[in-house]
Amino acid sequence: MFHSNVIVTLKKSILDPQGKAVEQGIHSLGFDAVSDVRIGKYIEMDIDTNSHEDAERITKEISDKLLANLVMESYSFNTESVKE
């Protein structure tokens, strides 16, 4: 069994109004040193396979086809073996 964590973020070139709004909140909180706040998505999943390579391939395919829209987003992931 493997466990994948996928992080999807808006590409740097895409304006992130949600991140901007949160950044304003952070500044209101008094943390003026903070900038470039961006919002993304975190997705985790279990994958029932014995092969690390398989688990990575599956995660990549799901990310490409469903979890991220590559026109506006990019993603990264981490796949680890877990005890059953």
Partner 1 sequence: MKKAKIGVIVFPGSNCDHDSYYVAETMMKQDARLIWHKDGSIGDVDVVILPGGFSYGDYLRCGAIARFSPVMKDVVRFANNGGLVIGICNGFQVLTEAGLLPGVLLKNKSLLFICKYLHLRVENANTKFTHRCESGEIIEIPIAHGDGNYFTDQDTLKRLEDNQQVVFRYCDRFGNLTDDANPNGSLNNIAGIINEAGNVLGMMPHPERASDPVLKHIDGKKMFESIIQSINPQFQTAENMVSERSV
39, 22 contact by CB (below 8 A): yes
For the CB of residue 16, give the shortest distance to partner 1 in the complex, in Å. 9
The residue among 17 and 30 lying less far from partner 1, judged by its C-beta, is: 17
For the CB of residue 1, give the shortest distance to partner 1 in the complex, in Å. 24
Q: Which helix H or strand E contains 20, and what residues bound it?
A: helix 17-28
Alpha carbon separation from 46 to 4, 54, 66 (Å, rounded) = 6, 12, 16
The residue assigned the tokens 């008094």 is 30
- 41 scored as a contact of partner 1 (CB under 8 A): yes
What is the footprint of partner 1 within residues 52-71 (CB under 8 A)? Answer: 66-67, 69, 71
Q: Which of 1, 21, 31, 81 binds partner 1 (CB under 8 A)?
A: 21
Which residues 6+ apart lie within 8 Å of 62 measured at CB?
6, 45
Chain residues binding partner 1 by CB under 8 A are 14-15, 17-18, 21, 41, 66-67, 69, 71-72
